[in-house]
């Protein structure tokens, strides 16, 4: 029987068990996302092509990078100065095999990381700020890592935007980031019946 990984990982509240789930899912993760029609790579591509200009040599952080599935679109757009961070060493093992990243870091975004602040020209965090994963506390850290006047691209599920405090946290950071663009709601995994509706958020650090 094929495990219903999406339901399992988004309902899991225990970080140790969540890490175990991703260890078991890591090798099949990309094929599952492809089958489910994972929308975030195309949404990131759209933002980079329509709403902001990011030079090819820019330093990019893929926060909660997983297997590097979203970063594949960055590579296709000829970005090559990419750092990935994720708390699952098994997902990072898959990411490393793709040779997309300059550096990979195995740490959680739920607390201050070891990365130096104010260093990235672009921070991308998709499919991470959601139930059972990383809460609104991570937004402070993502802002810290972003250079002044540079951008953050975040995805946040509609169902938990207010409920889990993301709206409140973003409003609290109004003197640190400004909204540039918010997408219309879309289904993150259109070929999966349990998929949530999300929005893409583009911010600029003030």
In the chain, the number of structural domains is 1
pTM, full prediction: 0.89
**What CATH number is associated with residue 152?**
3.40.50.150
80-123 residue pLDDT tens: 999 999 988 888 999 999 999 999 999 999 899 999 999 999 99
| 109-131 CB burial, b ≥16 within 10 A, e <16 | beeebebeeeebbbbbbbbbbbb
Q: What pLDDT was estimated at residue 2?
A: 42
Q: Whose structure tokens read 């988004």?
A: 10
For residues 38-65, give the mean pLDDT. 96
Q: What's the pLDDT band for 33 if we cut at 50, 70, 90? A: confident
155-173 residue pLDDT tens: 999 989 999 999 999 999 9
Sign (positive or negative) of CA dihedral 82, 85, 89, 95: negative
Range of the domain at 69: 5-205
Phi, psi of 79 (to 5 degrees): -90, 135
Cβ atoms < 10 Å from Cβ of 7: 11
């Amino acid at each position: 029987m094929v495990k219903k990984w999406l339901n399992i990982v988004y309902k899991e509240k225990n970080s140790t068990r969540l890490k175990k789930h991703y260890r078991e899912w890591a090798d099949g993760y990309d094929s599952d996302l492809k089958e489910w029609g994972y929308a975030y790579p195309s949404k990131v591509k759209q933002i980079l092509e329509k709403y902001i200009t990011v030079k090819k040599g820019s330093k990019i952080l893929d926060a909660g990078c997983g297997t590097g599935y979203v970063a594949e679109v960055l590579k296709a757009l000829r970005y090559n100065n990419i750092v990935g961070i994720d708390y699952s060493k098994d997902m990072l093992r898959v990411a490393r095999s793709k040779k997309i990243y300059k550096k990979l870091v195995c740490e959680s975004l739920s607390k201050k990381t070891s990365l130096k602040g104010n260093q990235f020209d672009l921070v991308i965090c998709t499919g991470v700020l959601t139930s059972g994963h990383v809460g609104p506390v991570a937004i402070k850290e993502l802002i810290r890592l972003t250079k002044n006047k540079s951008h953050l691209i975040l995805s946040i599920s509609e169902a938990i935007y207010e409920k889990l405090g993301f709206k409140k946290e973003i409003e609290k950071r109004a003197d640190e980031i400004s909204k540039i663009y918010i997408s219309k709601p879309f289904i993150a995994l259109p070929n999966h019946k349990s998929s949530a509706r999300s929005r893409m958020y583009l911010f600029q650090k003030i």
